[in-house]
A and B are shown apart, each in its own frame.
Chain A
Amino acid sequence: MAELTPNHGEASPDATPDRLQEPDAGAVRARLGALSRVGDEPALRVALAAEPLRMTNPTVGRGPLGGAAVAPAQAAAATGVLAQRQTLLDGAPCDVSLRLLGGERYVLVEGDAAHRVILEAEGPGDGGARSREVLVGGFRFVVETESERTASLRERASRGRAASAHSGPLQVKAIIPGKVVAVSVAAGDTVTAGQQLLVVEAMKMQNELRSPRDGTVERVGVAVGVKIEIGDLLVVIS
């Protein structure tokens, strides 16, 4: 298993658009519940950018949540922090925010369009996820949410099991999006199970990617500084 190096709390005022795209430690994976799903509909990774938006810069800071929303006194403390951070959907900054109308009713503000959304109370979902009914645009779905960290650890574990039972070339693919910050192996290297292959910075954390089994590195598909998405081929081990 990779070591997880917490790296949050380093928010600096000189945020660049690149840094805005790095997922936050509080990222959540939302996907349709089994009964609402048609085929293999993908999950959506939802996070807030680490940096507060700078309201003085209209190209970066323009976001409905950064506006002059009136917040109840109770929420003022939270909104002071949260309302000024941009929404990241699957890692990409999006002009999307959520506002409370009252009760279970919300408004999802999407650019200059707004959609009434109902988020019913949460209950337990599959495998530790939280589940709730969501109504939007006349549709109703069951949506499950869990923290990105939990989801990716669980996936990694199950992939690891699947991989060790498999012979032949093994493709190591990205299970979280982020940026490659170190590559520790090159084509032709012999590796042993558990040896570090590369380090991916995601969710403001350094994630070491280790070899799932003994073998020879056939190919390295990425280099330092490259941004990766879920499913990108990283390393092939034969």
Chain B
Amino acid sequence: MTTQEAPFRRVLIANRGEIAVRIIRACREMGMEAVAVYSDADAEAAHVRLADRAVRIGPAAPSESYLRIDAVIEAARATGSEAIHPGYGFLAERAAFARAAEEAGIVFVGPSSDAIEQLGDKLHARRLAARVGVPSVPGTLEPAPVDHPDRVAELIATAREVGFPLLVKAAAGGGGRGMRRVVREEDLAAALVAGSRESLSAFGDGSVYLEREILPARHIEVQLLADHHGRVVALGERDCSLQRRHQKLVEEAPAPGLTEEQRRHLHLLAVTMGAAAGLRNAATCEFLHDPEGNFWFLEVNTRLQVEHGVTEMVSGIDIVREQFRIAAGLGLSDEVLAAGERAALPASHAIEVRISAEDPARAFAPTPGRVGRWVMPGGPGIRIDTHIEPGDRIPPDYDNLIAKLMVHAHDRDAAIDRLRRALDETEIGGVQTTLPFHRLVASSTAFREGRLSTGWVEEYWDGDAARAAAVRRALAAAGLASVLAEAAPAGMRASEALPWDGGSRPAGHNGWRNGGRAQGVDRWPS
């Protein structure tokens, strides 16, 4: 029994992992049946177990399953699904997918296929921004001539206007693919060719353009919701500056250190872009924020973001629920409009860390495998979005994200304290995860002071040092346990030979507060 009429009777979720679970939860709460799709690698995955029905759509490889538009549309048709929620990634920003759904008479939970197509072309988005007076990152508005020796002089002249160092970026790009950094004029032509080739193979479109590199910069984005009546509301902004190879690691809402005036200005820029693009449903407008205080438009993401949860916590709005309402033709709710009014004066703070199966001491290399111990934190202000249970296998075929740990508190300091506490409660075995990095963030003075930039990871994360300290502790602990077990009287278990920690830790310290790296490294006797 639900309190409102369900916007749809049955919904297909064209995704997997934590986001599929997140969307299924919304379906449950709204009284809608959830249909999962799955590849052979996910036959027993959480989203399949949670859904009311599940349809196999192909083998493990994404290109043969989750990226197959025909298979997903057919699954929706066969199950009588009235709507498709694409989640993020996979087909979420493929205009062709939205169009195929529209043509099949199935509601696509997201912007129109036209809006996805236009905003998916970054050059189009940049031209649109120029038309409505939203400042884009300085650069070009048309595709650069690639491999045209006769136009090199012209190209160099343009590049000088943009300014070095600059970035070659893919018009169809995302996730840093097709991107090249160019410091010297003489490297420009080669970078264009390489970037264009990479973009062509990744996106089927080799168009590239030039953009000034803004460094240092913060990555700040605005969450938008828009309805069929052309109303666009900014729910607030997020700071996603902590990135590694253009993959976000930590996100927070609101962006620390902005004034109310800056927030209003930023939100207005985003709403202007959304309105100009004819946006509907949920989208995110991304900006770079330079030390002079400028906001430079980057791109619009026409989908639910991974990090939408922190905005939900601060705004009080269930974004996925609103997506379904909007998709069913309902206007923005009073709650959303009120949240939009409050967005420039946020009253609380939320932080998300992305726990991924990656080794932060080995350049964040993926670590697929089987999860062993799996203990997630709880208590006030904690939200965990995950699809993982102990013993689950993390397939090598998909994204490495295994859990999003979100904390919410009345202000940023309290949120950081809560994050530290939550990370101390978190125990993951079987595969290496990004937890050590997140522990550094939570105990970092620079982070606490709001010194954020897209270069933060390179500046503050020393994976080798963190690992070396942890290795020594692991060896000492395992060795001591073994020594004590050997030395214990016959018949006594190792654990019994150890002094039980009955609450008497060294004065003024305890095991939960001193888990951080800063103290540990310095205190190890040399």
A108 touches B477 (CB 8 A): yes
Enumerate 17 A-B pairs (CB-CB under 8 Å) in ascending A order. A31-B475, A44-B472, A46-B483, A48-B483, A67-B504, A69-B504, A70-B502, A72-B496, A75-B499, A89-B479, A106-B477, A115-B511, A117-B474, A137-B517, A139-B435, A140-B428, A140-B432
Interface members, chain A 115-139 (any B CB < 8 Å): 115-120, 130, 132-139
Q: Is the interface of A mostly helix, strand, loop or mixed?
A: strand
Q: Kindly list chain A residues whose C-beta atoms are within 8 Å of the C-beta of B478.
A: 30, 119, 132, 134, 143, 145
Question: Do B479 and A44 touch across chains, with their CB atoms under 8 A apart?
Answer: yes
Whether B432 and A82, one on each chain, are in contact in the complex, defined by CB atoms closer than 8 angstroms, is no
Whether A110 and B523, one on each chain, are in contact in the complex, defined by CB atoms closer than 8 angstroms, is yes
Contact of A43 with B by CB under 8 A: yes
Which of chain A's residues 14-72 have a Cβ closer than 8 Å to chain B? 24, 26-32, 38, 41, 43-48, 64-65, 67-72
Q: Is B329 on the interface with A (CB-CB < 8 A)?
A: no
**In chain A, what residue has the closest Cβ to B468?**
A41
Q: Which of A30, A68, A137 contacts B470 (CB 8 A)?
A: A137
Decide if B333 is an interface residue (CB 8 Å cutoff).
no
Task: Say which residue of A113, A120, A140 sits within 8 Å of B519 (CB atoms).
Answer: A113
Q: Please indicate the chain A residues that have their CB under 8 angstroms from the CB of B487 in the complex.
A: 26, 48, 78, 81-82
B483 contacts A27, CB within 8 Å?
yes
Cβ contacts B483-526/A at 8 Å (1 or 0 each):
11011110010011111111111111111101101011001110
CB distance from A11 to the nearest CB of B (A): 13
A87 touches B471 (CB 8 A): no
Is A234 among interface residues, defined by CB-CB distance under 8 A? no
Is residue A10 contacting chain B, with contact meaning CB distance below 8 A?
A: no
A41 to B430, CA, bound (A): 21
Whether a CB of chain A sits under 8 angstroms from the CB of B148 is no
Residues of B near any A CB (own CB < 8 A): 361-362, 372-373, 423-424, 426-439, 466-467, 469-484, 486-489, 492, 495-512, 514-515, 517, 519-520, 523-525
User: Does A101 belong to the interface (CB within 8 Å)?
Assistant: yes
Which of A90-98, A158-166, A176-184 makes up part of the contact surface? A90-98
Given contacts A108-B477, A147-B486, contact A140 B498 (CB under 8 A): no
Question: Number of contact residues on A: which range applies?
Answer: 35 or more
Chain A nearest Cβ from B507, distance in angstroms = 8
User: CA separation between A75 and B436, bound complex, in Å?
Assistant: 33
Return the contact of B427 from the options A75, A99, A118 (Cβ within 8 A): A118
A→B interface (CB under 8 Å): 24, 26-32, 38, 41, 43-48, 64-65, 67-72, 74-75, 77-79, 81-83, 87, 89, 92, 94-102, 106-120, 130, 132-141, 143, 145, 147
Which A residues touch B514, using CB under 8 A?
A: 112-115
**Contact A100 to B473, CB < 8 A, known contacts A111-B525, A137-B436:** no
Tell me the complex Cα distance, A52–B502, Å.
22
Q: Are B484 and A98 in contact, CB atoms less than 8 angstroms apart?
A: yes
Which residue of the partner chain A has the closest CB to B502?
A70
Contact A70 B500 (CB under 8 A): yes
How far, in angstroms, from A95 to B510 measured CA to CA in the complex? 16
One of A24, A44, A118 near B475 (C-beta < 8 A)? A44
B496 to chain A, nearest CB (A): 5
Q: Which residues of B contact A134 (CB under 8 A)?
A: 474, 477-478
Known: A32-B475, A143-B475. A78 touches B489 (CB 8 A): yes
Q: Is the CB of A118 within 8 A of B429?
A: yes
Q: How far is the CB of A72 from chain B (nearest CB, A)?
A: 5
Q: Contacts of B512 on A, CB cut-off 8 Å?
A: 116
| Chain B: CB-nearest residue to A129 | B482
Residues of B within 8 A of A41 (CB): 471
Among B431, B480, B492, B519, the one with the most A-chain Cβ atoms within 10 Å of its Cβ is: B480
